[in-house]
Every structure is written in structure tokens, then in C-alpha cells.
Amino acid sequence: MTSAIQAEHVVKRFAHRVVLQDLSLEVSPSEIAALIGPSGCGKSTLLRLISGLERDHAGRLVIDGREVTGPSRAVGFVFQEPRLLPWLTVAGNIVLGLPPAKRRNAGALVQDLLAQVQLEGTADALPRQLSGGMAQRVALARALAAEPGVLLLDEPFSAVDALTRMTLQDLVLAIWQRTRITMLLVTHDLDEALYLSDRVFVMSGKPAALNQVIAVGVPRPRDRRNPELARQRVHLMEALHVAGARPSADQGDPR
């Protein structure tokens, strides 16, 4: 089976600093994978490379069998901040994610997307009228508007409170259950990585490479109190400790 995301021997430099060193990984179709690692090791940089937003690299990046040459509607991206245009309504921001051919008669599509992220009735609201969690739901709806095969999430829930974060995690799982979209999530929250993902990729320090791949193996729906998740959390903490202690003469780029 063709991998939905494939990175082969990727090397990324900023000037003379090596950020990613010979990094290879694969994410299967309809899989949810999490990417964790020491702060500043290059997790977000890897997502930007996979999305085509960052293009200067060595090695090969492939999405659904096609080499990445630049941004594509086949890949949705949800950033740490919602990045909504403040002068547009919720509906206007979501329409930006639609292919141009679908924008003229976008009303029904926007309503469907708002229903998917549980924001019915907010189409005419402006971003300043939304809570942080609501704004991030709009960003998620915008990313889904193009019906991408792959969704990249770069710490999308880091700025919200703990209860909202859990609600958004369950929302992402509900969307995945309905669409079976492939997801790659960057997070510093080990509980989030284990609750959401099928596998967790552990990156080493700087320059970053793939240190471990841990299969979660707990069937869905998952109970956050599951003792197996608690056991695997300890395993992840140990893996992160080893990854962060890996010696390197190059401090890399702080991303």
C-alpha cells in the first residue's frame, strides 16, 4: 500500500545550521501519527516541508504518491494560531479554503463544515467575537474545506485551556472517524499524542533524526484513564529523555 506521507533521507539546513539530518518516516493512509521531540528540534520545520511551504531541502518528500513541489490542496494545515483574517466573517474565512470553482455557491458547503466542527450559527460572526477554541475550530474547518487527503496539525490546541483542549481532541477524532483523513500531529503533550494517534514518532535533538517509533496499540474509543496509556506515557518520557540527551555539536535552528 502506498504511504500517504513519505519522507526519505530529508536534510534541512538554515544557512550553516543543520536542523533535520537524514530523517525518514512513513505515515499510512488513514493513520493518525504524532510527532514529538525536544523543543526546537525541527518538528514544525518538518511539517512545513511536508506541506510544501518550505521547499529548500535535500531528500525526498511524497504525499499520496506525488512528490512535494509546493503547497497543494491535497494537504491541509492547522497552525498553532488560528490565523483568521480579522475583516472576514467566519464564513468568509472558511471560503478561502475552498477551491475557486466552489466559492460562488459556497453557502451549503460552509454550513456543512461548520456542522462538522460544531459551530452552527456562527457563519456571520467576526474572529474577534470568537473564543480561542472557537477560532481554532474555524481554522480546522478552513483546512478541511478543500477535502485534503492529509491533514497536518502543528500544536493546534496549545493555546486553549485543558477542558477545551480535550473537547477539540474529541472533535478531531470524530472528524477522522467520518473522513478517515490521514493526520500528522506535532505536540508536546504526551497524553494528547497517546490519546489521538496510532503511532508516535520520537525525534532526537539537534540536528533532528527519527529516534523511535512507538505503536500505541490501544483500540478506539480510548479511555484517557486506561492504564496502558499511562504505561506508554512513561515509555515516551524515557524516550524523550534519551532523545534530548543525544549529543550534538550543532545547535540547529530554534524551530
Q: What is the pLDDT of residue 40?
A: 85
Q: What is the pLDDT of residue 248?
A: 37
Write out the three cell numbers for 220.
Answer: 478506539
Average pLDDT value for the chain:
92
pLDDT digits (tens, 9 = 90+) for 146-199: 999 999 999 999 989 999 999 999 999 999 999 999 999 999 999 999 999 999
The rounded radius of gyration (Å) of the Cα atoms in the chain is 18
Q: Is the peptide bond before 221 cis (omega within 30 degrees of 0)?
A: yes
Write out the three cell numbers for 44.
Answer: 514544525
Dist CA 201 CA 209 (whole Å): 10
Domain boundaries, the chain: 5-74+148-245, 85-146
The SS3 call for residue 180 is: coil
Yes or no: say if 188 and 38 are a contact pair by the CB < 8 Å rule: no
Q: What is the pLDDT of residue 253?
A: 39
Q: What is the pLDDT of residue 252?
A: 38
Q: Name residues whose C-beta falls within 8 Å of residue 202's C-beta, 6 or more positions apart in sequence.
A: 36, 37, 210, 211, 212, 213, 214, 236, 239, 240, 243
DSSP H/E element including 200: strand 199-203
For the chain, residues with pLDDT lower than 70 are 1, 244-255
Q: What is the pLDDT of residue 254?
A: 40
Q: What is the pLDDT of residue 20?
A: 95
Quick one: 5-74+148-245 is in which CATH superfamily?
Answer: P-loop containing nucleotide triphosphate hydrolases (3.40.50.300)
